[in-house]
Structure 1
Amino acid sequence: MKLASLKSGRDGKLIVVSRDLSRAVSAETIAPTLQAALDDWAAKEPALVALYNDLNAGNCNGAFDFIPEDCAAPLPRAYHWADGSAYVTHVELVRKARGAELPESFWTDPLIYMGASDAFIGPRDDIEVESEDWGIDFEAEVVVITDDVPAGTSPELARNHIRLIGLVNDVSLRNLIPAELGKQFGFYQSKPWTSFTPVLATPDELGDAWDGAKLHLPLRATLNGELIGAPNAGVDMTFDFPTLIAHCAKSRALMTGTVIGSGTVSNVGSEAGSCCLAEVRCLETIANGSPSTPFMSFGDRVEIDMLDDAGNSIFGNIDQRVVQYTPPQ
């Protein structure tokens, strides 16, 4: 099943989207928003699945063309957004570029920070940034949405709490990060917007590509029409999603609608390319002593997508432009 939210108020309006992403139908009679559906998933899921099946069969009254530009993030406001750094090869590369050793604990203990869940935007919304000097970068990631996760849940049991899967562009302002991390208190100003694919999909939609813990397909990141990378999200993922969920729930429960991110998808070596410009610049620094690729500029266009084995987009693509933001006077 594929679900999306049309722009409407602050929390969107729930729609069901066809498997081929061509048609959609309102699900308001079942649940007004995706959060409402998730909050009562056991009761709402069968009706949503029935509507989805009717839509795919062409037997759905009120169906309309699906237009990604009309979509908000599937969860425009989420209760919790925890972003990991599950691909330790990415962290290792970043530290190597600046001549720093990777602590051994990074291979056994996940890195996770709590992000801004009130700053989720749609797949076609502009990336608004005040200054190019802030080092504007995209980060292509996989995310999962959970139901209620009890505190102390094991990785084995955490598998059962994954309800939906999608992709995000977790924008980073790289030149603001060092000063923030230097305070030893985490990201804030350096993490402005996170944009989502038009739809989120239930795990069964992914077939063999989803093994209950990892999504085994290339994640494509394109900048101004040039493919920057397509690393396989199921390869070199040191900490899978159940492990990340269990880590987040070590000392507290997670509420329904929690979004857990993988961090930038990355494969060992540079053959598959990169899912962020910071990694491209690290590779250049290691090879040549300094980076040559700039961060994004106003007018740049970034696209993020994942295709199935037949070459069809699974979640729809993120397609955004970077624009200059002017603060109110």
Structure 2
Amino acid sequence: MKLARYGDRNGPKIPCILDAEGTPRDASSLVADFGPQTLSPDLLARLAAVDPTTLPKADVAGKRLAPPTAQPFNIWCVGLNYSDHAAEAGLPVPEEPILFNKSTVTYCGPNDDLLYAPKMTKLDWEVELGIVIGKPALNISKSEALDHVAGFVLVNDVSERAWQMERSGQWVKGKSFPNFCPTGPFLATPDEVGDVQKLGMWLDVNGDRKQTGNTDTMIFDVATIVSYMSEFTRLEPGDLICTGTPPGVGAGMKPPQWLTVGDRVELGIDGLGTQAQTVVAL
């Protein structure tokens, strides 16, 4: 099952189930919205039992494609989680997952603009697999972990590297500007995705391929990440976990390459759709 939402950032959203042809079907008769309070396994099971073609086609002409679930309570991230990306960065493979946060103000639609502020100098891209939590997870085992996952999404973990690496403090400083977390176009439930550890991923800047990777090079897989994080915190329904990026980020280029106003970023992951953003001056 694939879930999507349409509507302006501050307005009501149309919750949709995509049919086999990818046509958005209006699910507002079944659920008010897809979000932290409505991503329970019971609701997802009820939605999965519905034939999407029995729902009306959603009136989405000219409407913004919103992130596929309402703003989460938390956005978590895993750093240096691809062996080939760690090699690109010249850093050792972590012995345990490196965890950090992005502010929830970063959360935006998959095709929303990337904002370029006057003090930015090293704006970077990162195609990532996102995990969306479906039920609370605290002190759970690896074998239980996938039972707590509502689904998976495509994410661009946008970063300002000068703020992240040169301005002291934690990585969150370079990860938390508005629109630094384009998410979607849809949430795919685990049964829709298949083997989540064998998904191809890519990212282009101005039509030039920068990143090519596969989730099979993740150092810590999805189940490990969810179980590990539950040792330290309670993961809540709707929480988004960005799981790291393959090589090809701007910071890893020789010389480094950075986004600037007017650049176009396009990215995708097998089974999770594509995104496209334009960098605009704030």
Fold conserved between structures, TM > 0.5:
yes
Aligned positions of 1:1-329 closer than 5 A: 1-8=1-8, 9=10, 12-21=13-22, 23-35=23-35, 38-42=38-42, 44-51=43-50, 53-55=51-53, 60-64=54-58, 70-85=64-79, 86-94=81-89, 96=90, 102=92, 106-131=93-118, 133-180=120-167, 182-183=168-169, 185-192=170-177, 193-207=180-194, 210=195, 214-234=196-216, 236-266=217-247, 274=248, 276-279=249-252, 281=253, 284=254, 291=255, 293-307=256-270, 314-325=271-282
Contact kept, 8 Å, 1:132 with 1:298, in 2: the verdict is: no
RMSD: 2.3
The one-letter amino acid paired with 1:233 is T
Aligned 8 A contact 2:6 2:63 in 1: no
What's the counterpart of residue 287 of structure 1? none
Q: Please state how far the C-alpha of 1:264 moved relative to its aligned partner.
A: 1.1
Checking the alignment, whether the CA contact within 8 Å between 1:156 and 1:242 is kept in structure 2 is yes
CA spacing shift, 1:68–1:37, aligned 2, 3 Å:
farther
Q: What stretches of structure 2 of length at least 5 have no aligned partner?
A: none
Contact persistence 1:142–1:166 (CA under 8 A): yes
Give the Å deviation of 1:68. Answer: 9.2
CA contact 1:88–1:237 (8 Å) conserved in 2: yes
Instruction: Give 1:150 shift.
Output: 3.3
TM-score between the two structures when normalised by the length of structure 2: 0.89
Q: CA deviation at 1:61?
A: 4.6
1:32-86 per-residue CA deviation (whole Å, 9 max, x = no partner) reads 11116634431x22332233x332xxxx352147669621111241011111022
Structure 1 residue 15 displacement after superposition: 1.1
Q: 1: CA distance between counterparts of 2:218 and 2:55? A: 43
After superposition, the C-alpha distances for 1:271-319 in whole angstroms (9 at most, x for unaligned) are: xxx2x2222x1xx2xxxxxx1x531111000001124xxxxxx333111
| 1:237-292 deviations in Å (ceiling 9; x for gaps) | 110111111221113321111111111124xxxxxxx2x2222x1xx2xxxxxx1x
TM-score (norm 1): 0.77
Does the CA contact (< 8 Å) of 1:138 and 1:170 recur in 2? yes
Aligned-partner SS, 1:63: coil
| Structure 1 residues 108 and 197: CA distance shift in structure 2, 3 A | same
Deviation at 1:111, TM superposition (A): 0.4
Query: Is the contact between residue 121 and residue 195 of structure 1 (CA under 8 Å) also seen in structure 2?
Result: yes
Q: Report the CA distance shift for 1:82/1:108 in structure 2 as closer, same or farther (over 3 A).
A: same
Q: Secondary structure at the match of 2:166?
A: helix
- In the alignment of these two chains, the number of paired residues is 278
Q: Which has the higher strand share?
A: 2
State percent identity of aligned pairs.
Answer: 22
Query: 1:305 aligns to what SS in structure 2?
Result: strand
Quick check: 2:40–2:135 contact (8 Å CA) kept in 1? no
AA aligned opposite 1:47: R
Structure 1 residue 206 displacement after superposition = 2.0
| Paired residues of 2:41 and 2:135 also in contact (CA < 8 A) | no
Structure 1 alignment gaps of length 5 or more: 267-273, 285-290, 308-313
CA distance in 1, matches of 2:12, 2:161: 29
